[in-house]
Amino acid sequence: MLRRLAAGGMGSAPVLQAMGAVERHHFVDSGLANQAYEDTSLPIGFGQTISKPSVVARMIELLLAAPGARTDGLGRVLEIGTGCGYQAAVLARVAREVYSIERLRGLHERARANLRSLRLANVHLIFGDGMLGFASGAPYAGILAAAGGAAVPTAWCEQLAIGGRLVAPVADASGRQSLLVIDRSAQGFTQSVLESVHFVPLKSGIG
């Protein structure tokens, strides 16, 4: 998997090291373990998926490349959509602290079980509505979203630190998604639209 990521253009050593430190098969059903290291998304139940390794690596690479990012890694990060906990485990290797919020109780509990054996003291799992972010942990040096809507919720931007970066999929009028990068400076926000992606829809509420 790491060789494939590097061959695909992933040149960030911290990202490759973090990806190599987390066993992806640990986060999928045993029947799918033989596909765990392929560059594909896989079902994790509840109508959700675990993102492709290349997409996880790309989004974390973008966070690390933020204009205000520290040279020794990220500070506090918020993940919207814990899913099975895989991306949170990777983030834990490049960030000082990770807050990860999930709106589906079944997935929240599954992520908790998946992460328990890894003993990641810097990962905090929250059951709640990701559309609201998590104000108690703000401000964040980075915010990553694993679901895409028509717009980025205002709460996420408000919880982003000066010098911080937000990376999220956003859908256009036709429903096609692209990665949106939002940087916050003392002067305000700047946006960049990058490559096409495909994520599950962003939803409000808990279930």
What is the tens place of the pLDDT at every residue in 56-109? 999 999 999 988 777 778 999 999 999 999 999 999 999 999 999 999 999 999
pLDDT of residue 104: 96
Answering whether pTM is above 0.85, one says yes
What pairs with residue 191 in β-bridges? 182
Does residue 207 carry a pLDDT above 90?
A: no
* More confident: 7 or 138: 138
Look up tokens 């700047």; give the residue.
Answer: 190
Q: Which of 12, 51, 100, 185 is catalytic?
A: 51
Mean pLDDT of 110-123: 96
What pLDDT does residue 72 have? 77
User: What is the model's pLDDT at position 127?
Assistant: 98
pLDDT band, very low/low/confident/very high, at 183 (cuts 50, 70, 90): very high
Give pLDDT tens digits for 25-55: 999 988 888 899 999 999 999 889 999 999 9
Tell me what pLDDT residue 2 has: 86
Query: In the prediction, which pLDDT does 9 show?
Result: 84
pLDDT tens-place string over residues 121-173: 999 999 999 999 999 999 999 999 999 999 999 999 999 999 999 999 999 88
pLDDT of residue 61: 94
Residue 133: the pLDDT is 97
Average pLDDT value for the chain? 93
**Complete domains list, the chain, with CATH:** 2-197 (3.40.50.150)
Is 51 annotated as catalytic? yes
